[in-house]
Amino acid sequence: MNYVNLMIFWHFIPARSPNFGGLWEAGVKSVKHHLKRIISNDSFTYEEFSTLIIQIESILNSRPLTSLTNDPNDLDVLTPAHFLIGRPFTTIADPDVTDIPTARLSRYQYLQSLNRQFWRRWSKEYIHELQQRNKWRRSENNQLKLDDIVLIKEDNLPPAKWSIGRVIQLHPGIDKTVRVVTVKTASGTEIKRACSKLCVLPVGESKSEVSDN
């Protein structure tokens, strides 16, 4: 198949150089770290552990990678799930039971509690790592721009739910540096956020990095 005609281009890291794949290597390490922390020394049946792993898998494969189109009004994003099933994962919102004592939970509720614990830990770290990565690669001429599609850092979102928005207005300071922007969310709401609460989608950063090289 001629992938060039489909506008598909492959970019490879050098052989024996895993440090070039820092983002996904760090992702694997992060998942193992948080999974170990939430399950601790608990015992599970095969079915219970499989259920938990599949739920965590859906979280990982729901993460936004890049915008699907060049239309600034389209906030649909590409996720790993698109490569697996051709569309985003559909998840059912279960009640938050993380504040209920473990002894009062059924086994299914306990698994849901572990799933939420993993989501809160992992998503917080994932967004933080994206923000740090953006800082390393972001120069004075590469600040947030109008129509950038960004991931909005929000608290208390249910598992596998991400807040996506489009930058519609910049608010530069006296020194001409943009530290605050107005973002339009998928629901049409316009919110003002500090740039520290936003991060560019990871593939968007990678594409600009490749084009620079």
**What DSSP letter does each residue of 102-154 carry, written as one string?**
GGGS-HHHHHHHHHHHHHHHHHHHHHHHHHHHHHHH--TTSS--TT-EEEE--
Which are the contacts of 109, defined by CB distance < 8 A and separation ≥ 6?
A: 97, 100
Structure tokens at 161: 């739910």
Which among 182, 175, 149, 1 has a CA at the least distance from the CA of 76? 149
Check: CB of residue 156 under 8 Å from CB of residue 134.
no
Q: Write the pLDDT tens digit of every residue in 60-95.
A: 999 999 888 878 778 889 999 998 998 888 877 788
Which among 129, 116, 152 has a CA at the least distance from the CA of 28? 129
Q: How far is Cα 32 from Cα 66, in angstroms, rounded to an integer?
A: 25
Positive/negative CA dihedral, 129, 28, 36, 151: positive
Q: Write the pLDDT tens digit of every residue in 43-66.
A: 999 999 999 999 999 999 999 998
Residue 189 has pLDDT above 70, yes or no: yes
Residue 145 has pLDDT above 80, yes or no: yes
pLDDT at position 34 is 95
Q: Which domains, from first to last, does the chain contain?
A: 18-212 (2.30.30.140)
